[in-house]
C-alpha cells in the first residue's frame, strides 16, 4: 500500500495519546475492581518469587548464582512483560479482534493497521502488576550486583527491556496470525509462551542443552532475560555460549518483529470477515 500518509508523525503521536486516554478512561471506570485485580496479579506473580526466595534463604546460592543475581535475572521478565502489555496489548489480543469482528472496523479507518492495533489497547492491571513486581526486584538487586550504572549501561538497559517486550509481542502476534485462516491457536500459544517463561525464571544453564537451544532459537526467551542479565553480570558460565549473544537482544527483537509483520501482512491480504461485527 504505497499511499501518501494522511497524518504526520506529530499528529500520529497526539492521536496515540488520545487513544491512551480513551483506554484509561474505560479502565478507570471501575477503579476499585482494577486496583484489586492489580493486587491479585502482584500476588500471583509473587508466588514464584517467594518460592525462589525461600529456596535461596535455605541454600544461599544455586550453581554459583546468589540471591541478588537470581532476582536481577528474574526482574527482566517482569519489566519487559509489563512494557509489553502496556504498549503492545493490542498485539497480544489481536486474535480476539478477529473473532469479535472488531478488526473490520479497524480496516475501514484511514490509519495504519498496525498503528491502530498497537494504539487501541492498554492492559493497565497486568502492566502495573508485573511492573510492581519487576520494580521491587530491580531496585532490591540492581545496586548490589556490581553494576556501574553509567549512561551506556542505562541506555542499553532500556533498549534491552524494549527488545524483550517486542520479542514477546512478536510471539503473541505470530500465534494470532493463524486466526486469519480461522485456526485457533490460543491454547497452544499460551502453553508455549508461559512454559517458556517458566523456564526462563532461572538461568538457562540449569537446563539440558536441548532446552537451552529451544529458549535461544525457537522461543527466544534467553534474549529477554538470560543474555541481557549476563551482559551486566558477566558470570563465568557465559563462556559456554558465544560472546556475541550478549549484544543480540535488540537484533532478535527487530528481526522477529519484521518477520512476524510480513507474515501478518500476508494474513491481512487473506482476511475475510467472520461477519460478527456489531
Partner 1 sequence: MRAYVEFAKKAFQNNIAYRADYVAGVINAIVMIFVNICIWKAIYEDEQTVDGVQFKILITYVVISFLMQCIYAMDEYHIEYKVRSGAIGLDLLKPMSFSGYIFSYNIGILVFRVVMQLIPALIVSIVLFKMYPPFSLSMAIYFLISTILGYLVLYNLNFIVWISSFWFYWTFSLVTIKDAAVMILSGALLPLWFMPQALVDFINLTPFASIYYVPITIYLGQVPMEEIALVMAKQLIWALGLFIAGKLLWKTALKKLVVQGG
Stretch that binds partner 1, among 1-9, 49-57, 240-248, 264-272 (CB under 8 A): 49-57
155 or 218, CB closer to partner 1?
218
Rule CB under 8 A: is residue 36 a binding residue for partner 1?
yes
The Cα 98–Cα 110 span in angstroms is 19
The answer to whether the beta carbons of residues 223 and 163 sit under 8 Å apart is: yes
With CB under 8 A as the rule, give the number of residues binding partner 1. 35
CB 134 within 8 A of CB 68: no
Q: Is 198 in the site for partner 1 (CB under 8 A)?
A: yes
Q: In Å, what is the CA distance from 158 to each residue of 76, 79, 105, 138, 161?
A: 11, 10, 34, 13, 5
Q: Are 197 and 77 in contact (CB under 8 A)?
A: yes
* Pick from 97, 110, 143: nearest CA to 277: 97
Nearer to partner 1, 9 or 57 (CB): 57
Strand partners, 61: 66
Q: By CB under 8 A, is residue 55 in contact with partner 1?
A: yes
Q: Which of 59, 143, 217, 247 binds partner 1 (CB under 8 A)?
A: 59
263 near partner 1, rule: CB under 8 A: no
User: By CB under 8 A, is residue 218 in contact with partner 1?
Assistant: no
DSSP element (H, E) containing 146: none
Binding status of residue 9 toward partner 1 by CB under 8 A: no
Q: Is 41 in the site for partner 1 (CB under 8 A)?
A: yes
CA distance to 36, 74, 75, 199, per residue, from 202 (Å):
29, 7, 11, 6
Report the nearest approach of partner 1 to the CB of residue 54 (Å): 6
Q: How far is the CB of 30 from partner 1 (least distance, A)?
A: 9
Q: Which of 17, 22, 24, 50 binds partner 1 (CB under 8 A)?
A: 50
Q: Is 46 in the site for partner 1 (CB under 8 A)?
A: yes
Give the footprint of partner 1 on residues 133-192 (CB under 8 A).
Answer: 184, 187-188, 190-191
Q: Which of 137, 153, 19, 156 has its CA nearest to residue 81?
A: 137
- Pick from 2, 208, 209, 244 the residue near partner 1 by CB under 8 A: 208
| 74 binds partner 1, rule: CB under 8 A | no
Amino acid at each position: 500500500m504505497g499511499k501518501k500518509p494522511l497524518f504526520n508523525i506529530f499528529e500520529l503521536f497526539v492521536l496515540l495519546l488520545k487513544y491512551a486516554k480513551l483506554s484509561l478512561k474505560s479502565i478507570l471506570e471501575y477503579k476499585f475492581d482494577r486496583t484489586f485485580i492489580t493486587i491479585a496479579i502482584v500476588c500471583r506473580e509473587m508466588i514464584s518469587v517467594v518460592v525462589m526466595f525461600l529456596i535461596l534463604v535455605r541454600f544461599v546460592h544455586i550453581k554459583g548464582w546468589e540471591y541478588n543475581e537470581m532476582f536481577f535475572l528474574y526482574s527482566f521478565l517482569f519489566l519487559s512483560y509489563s512494557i509489553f502489555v502496556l504498549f503492545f496489548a493490542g498485539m497480544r489480543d489481536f486474535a480476539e479482534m478477529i473473532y469479535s469482528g472488531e478488526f473490520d472496523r479497524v480496516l475501514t479507518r484511514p490509519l495504519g493497521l498496525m498503528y491502530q492495533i498497537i494504539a487501541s489497547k492498554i492492559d493497565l492491571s497486568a502492566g502495573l502488576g508485573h511492573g510492581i513486581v519487576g520494580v521491587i526486584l530491580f531496585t532490591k538487586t540492581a545496586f548490589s550486583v556490581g553494576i556501574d550504572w553509567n549512561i551506556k549501561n542505562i541506555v542499553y538497559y532500556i533498549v534491552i527491556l524494549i527488545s524483550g517486550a517486542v520479542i514477546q509481542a512478536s510471539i503473541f502476534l505470530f500465534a494470532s496470525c493463524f486466526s486469519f485462516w480461522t485456526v485457533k491457536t490460543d491454547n497452544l500459544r499460551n502453553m508455549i509462551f508461559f512454559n517458556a517463561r517458566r523456564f526462563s525464571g532461572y538461568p538457562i544453564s540449569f537446563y539440558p542443552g536441548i532446552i537451552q537451544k529451544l529458549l535461544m532459537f525457537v522461543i527466544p526467551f534467553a534474549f529477554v532475560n538470560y543474555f541481557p542479565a549476563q551482559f551486566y553480570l558477566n558470570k563465568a558460565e557465559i563462556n559456554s555460549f558465544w560472546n556475541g549473544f550478549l549484544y543480540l537482544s535488540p537484533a532478535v527483537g527487530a528481526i522477529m518483529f519484521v518477520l512476524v509483520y510480513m507474515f501478518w501482512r500476508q494474513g491481512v491480504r487473506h482476511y475475510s470477515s467472520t461477519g460478527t461485527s456489531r
